[in-house]
Amino acid sequence: MLELKGIFKTFFPNTPNEVRALRGVDLRITPGSWVNIIGTNGSGKSTLLNATAGTFPLDQGEIILDGNRITRWPEHRRAKLIGRVFQDPFSGTAPSMTIAENLALAARRGQARGLGFALRTGWRNDLRDRVAAMGLGLEDKIEKPMDTLSGGQRQSITLLMAGLVRPSLLLLDEHTAALDPKSADKIIELTGKFIAENQLTTIMVTHSMQQAANFGDRIIMMHQGSICHDISGLQKSRVRASDLIAKFDEVRRSDQLDESVADMLRSNYV
Amino acid sequence: MEIVKNSSGDLLEMQLSGSFDNESSVHFRESIEESARAGWHRILVDLGNVDYISSAGLGALVAARKNILTLNGQFGVHNPSAFVAKVLMLTKLHDMLIVAPSDFHEFETQATTTLDVSSQRSARVGSVEMEIFSVPSTEPMKCSIFGDAKALQNSSTSKSTSHGVSFGYDSYGLGLGALASQSASGENQYGELVAVSGTVSQSAPTSSQLPDYSIVRGEFTPTAHFLYGAKMEGHFSSLIRFNHSDPEARITVSELVQCCMQEQGIRTAACVILADCAGLLGAQMKHWNIADSGESAFSVPRIRDWLSYCPEHFHQHKLALIVGVATLDHATMPSALQSFLRPLSGNSQQTGHFHAAVFPYRALKKRTIDLQSFVHDLFEESEIQEVLHLLRDVRPTTGETESELQSGACWIEPIDPSRITEVSA
Ligand SMILES: Nc1ncnc2c1ncn2[C@@H]1O[C@H](COP(=O)(O)OP(=O)(O)OP(=O)(O)O)[C@@H](O)[C@H]1O
Ligand SMILES: [Mg+2]
């Protein structure tokens, strides 16, 4: 269970560059559920994930994960509970280390043992099995360095790394956005399978309305640092990509309602 | 496939050449729709240069015939090439589609009217061309005003009292309110309302949802729960078909109503308009929370929560069903009606209030239209898309804009000032 209560975050406060990135976000995510976050550029989606992962301190608010009040925990401490995959396939892994070594590093997260322990034969076979289970034929490459893999292959390894120790929470930030359409489809399918098998509580940021509609069991739409739509249950199962696009149009229309329009409406409406 | 159009009188001839396949059938359908919209309801298609036709092409011809016939028009094909003639024979579509051009011309005088029209004449006010069909007027309409728009806007504490108003066949109305007296959640889901001839529609709380509606059926008569609104009862004795003298130009709703009132010599009018839209400009209430109302409700960003308005013209080439009231005697109107009415243009004393329901495009047949059956068919066969409170957007920075129409029909009737009643809270 993840609980975000009254989260506020302003970057560069009291300067001309002030950005009120999060303006009072409340969100409760039940264990094992998969929430998709959509919203226009700059609406605060990544900032919300970063706030949860502990990239920066909050201005206000409380974060509770599986009963732990993690609000003041540093990022590395939260990393034991939280797995992350970013948009950039080149982030989050050590490029010159082998796939096996990268996976071992991830497995070791939160444990004080050396790398050697993780790379013992038993582990190795286990890792090979897990990589093979993804069905990408990467099991024969686990001794190759990460930087010999394609973007899609890397994202699948990063995903595997993020889920290796079965985190309390998996955060995916546009993790298929930098991939070609075919690889993106492959990775999102893999993501779905992976989340279901491990029953991971997941937040996925995506700009693909198709992904948002077809995967997960809840959709949150963000706008100007707050949640403007929350679609779940039956409503979520019925939602089509076109409905979500219509919601974007609605937001765009509402943004055009500025002071001058409001003044006109004050005298012309009602 | 190439389509060349030629007209003589009110007959449009379409000469097709090339291959009439699925790809071309899309082009053909669009061309037929465009022609019908431009007022061509007698269409003859020459298939002499069509060397191939697929089932998609045949389907497009059958659909075109059906569409034109529903407009009381005429549609037929002639002069088929050898290949097309063979296909028409084999598919048994020959008798349905083929006409002899000579026969086709003979139908010309067969104009149809469904309404008993006692008089018909043409008129022109400014650049609006009108054809007026009228029946003897029985008596002017009566009008009831429910609630008070101004009072509602200024009230911050008053309980939301709504007025249940039933809308049978001979009634027309518009206002702010709800179809349901109380929603399941206990919170009233208010919106913009439009009532015409036994139908009432209400805007949805967001533009991505569809409006709801209720229609007279058997013993059932729909009820609108007005926070404020107007109901007009009676018969329309005049139907005015209108278009702009320049087919490229548009007519604003205000301009149309002013022209129709002037032509008919009406000072206070009820009207219903069916029109091909050039673009609508309107607002929709998403929900109304009385406790939150008052002046600050119109501040940004609060206003975005409860009111939806975008300063862009929408719904080009859709069909609009508009209902409204307008008067030249604003100063002598009852106060509740006064606060319901807005200036129709900057340089006139005329005031009015109009709401519109929007449907996918449908061509309107020529001459007279039976409003009641047209509207009931519309709800049955089509899908209502939006309900709007039409606005004249006047801002110092952008000037003045409002909803614009291409052509259509306007039913208009005087309202008897002595039969205007106010039903306040
Ligand atoms: N670390 C930071 N320092 C300063 N400003 C930031 C920082 N992170 C985000 N912002 C600003 O906060 C706002 C929200 O950004 P955020 O990255 O959360 O948007 P987003 O919804 O993820 O958009 P996108 O779809 O483009 O990824 C933006 O205006 C951004 O410039
Ligand atoms: Mg982002």
Mean pLDDT of A81-100: 88
Write out the residue range of the structural domain in which residue A234 sits: 2-93+168-268
Across B245-350, where does the E strand assignment appear? 251-252, 268-279, 282-285, 307-309, 319-327, 342-343
Structure-block tokens of residue A63:
């974060």
Any B CB within 8 A of A41 CB: no
Q: Quick: pLDDT tens for B210-222.
A: 899 999 988 899 9
Q: Which residues of A touch B304 (CB under 8 A)?
A: 254, 257
Comparing CB atoms, the residue among B176, B208, B395 nearest residue A250 is B208
* Distances from the Cα of A164 to the Cα of A113, A114, A131, A194, B65, angstroms: 16, 17, 11, 10, 65
Q: Which residues of A151-168 are buried (b: 16+ CB within 10 A; e: fewer)?
A: bbbbbbbbbbbbbbbebb
**Furthest CA-CA distance within chain B:** 79
Q: Which pLDDT score is estimated for B86?
A: 94
Q: Which residues of A touch B207 (CB under 8 A)?
A: 246, 249-250, 253
Nearest-angstrom CA–CA distance, B65 and B67? 6
> For chain A, what is the domain count?
1
Smallest CA–CA distance, residue B393 to chain A, in Å, is: 7
Residue-level length of chain A? 270
- Distance from the Cα of residue B2 to its chain's centroid: 33
Domain membership flag for residue A49: yes
Smallest CA–CA distance, residue A270 to chain B, in Å, is: 6
* Distances from the Cα of B399 to the Cα of A54, A115, B114, B248, B348, angstroms: 50, 71, 43, 22, 16
Give yes or no for residue B353 having a pLDDT over 50.
Answer: yes
User: Whose CA is closest to B227, among B168, B309, B165?
Assistant: B165
Q: Which residues of A touch B299 (CB under 8 A)?
A: 262
Q: Which pLDDT score is estimated for B398?
A: 80
Binned at pLDDT 50, 70 and 90, residue B292 comes out as low
CA-nearest residue for atom 15, ligand 1, is A42
C-alpha of residue A47 to centroid of ligand 1, in Å:
6
The answer to whether the CB of A47 is under 6 A from ligand 1 is yes
Find the CATH number of the domain harbouring A37: 3.40.50.300
Q: Which residues of A touch B206 (CB under 8 A)?
A: 247, 250
Any B CB within 8 A of A259 CB: yes
Domain membership flag for residue A144: no
Q: Is residue B246 a contact partner of residue B128, using CB atoms and an 8 Å limit?
A: no
Any B CB within 8 A of A230 CB: no
Q: Do A268 and B299 touch (CB under 8 A)?
A: no
Query: For the complex shown, is ipTM > 0.85?
Result: no
The answer to whether the CB of A15 is under 6 A from ligand 1 is no
Q: Which residues of B touch A254 (CB under 8 A)?
A: 304, 308, 310
Domain membership flag for residue A240: yes
Q: Which CATH class is domain B2-103?
A: alpha beta
The answer to whether the CB of A44 is under 6 A from ligand 1 is yes
Q: Which positions ≥6 away from B97 have C-beta within 8 Å?
A: B61, B62, B65, B76, B77, B88
Domain membership flag for residue A87: yes
Mean pLDDT of A221-247: 93
Residue with tokens 């975000």: A4
Domain membership flag for residue A122: no
CA-nearest residue for atom 28, ligand 1, is A42
Any B CB within 8 A of A249 CB: yes
C-alpha of residue B352 to centroid of ligand 2, in Å:
48
Give yes or no for residue A214 having a pLDDT over 60.
Answer: yes
DSSP annotation string for B190-226: -EEEEEETTEEEE--SSTTSPPEEEE-BTTB--EEEE
Q: Do B394 and A260 touch (CB under 8 A)?
A: no
Any A CB within 8 A of B82 CB: no
Nearest-angstrom CA–CA distance, B281 and A263? 16
The answer to whether the CB of A43 is under 6 A from ligand 1 is yes
Any A CB within 8 A of B308 CB: yes
CA-nearest residue for atom 5, ligand 1, is A11
Binned at pLDDT 50, 70 and 90, residue B156 comes out as very low
Question: What stretch of H or E contains B175?
Answer: strand B171-178
Instruction: Give the count of beta carbons closer than 10 Å to the beta carbon of residue B403.
Output: 29
Domain membership flag for residue A106: no
Q: Which pLDDT score is estimated for B358?
A: 97
Give yes or no for residue B155 having a pLDDT over 80.
Answer: no
Nearest-angstrom CA–CA distance, B416 and B109? 39
Mapping DSSP to helix (H, G, I), strand (E, B) and coil, where does residue B111 land? coil
DSSP annotation string for B30-89: HHHHHHHHTT--EEEEEEEEEEEE-HHHHHHHHHHHHHHHHTT-EEEEES--HHHHHHHH
CA-nearest residue for atom 25, ligand 1, is A41
Q: Where in chain B is the domain with CATH 3.30.750.24?
A: 2-103
DSSP letter at B365 equals P
Give yes or no for residue B113 having a pLDDT over 50.
Answer: no
Query: pTM score, two decimals?
Result: 0.77
Give the mutation candidate from B208, B345, B392 for the A interface (greatest A CB count, under 10 A): B208
Q: Which pLDDT score is estimated for A81?
A: 92
CA-nearest residue for atom 9, ligand 1, is A47
Question: What stretch of H or E contains A133?
Answer: helix A121-133
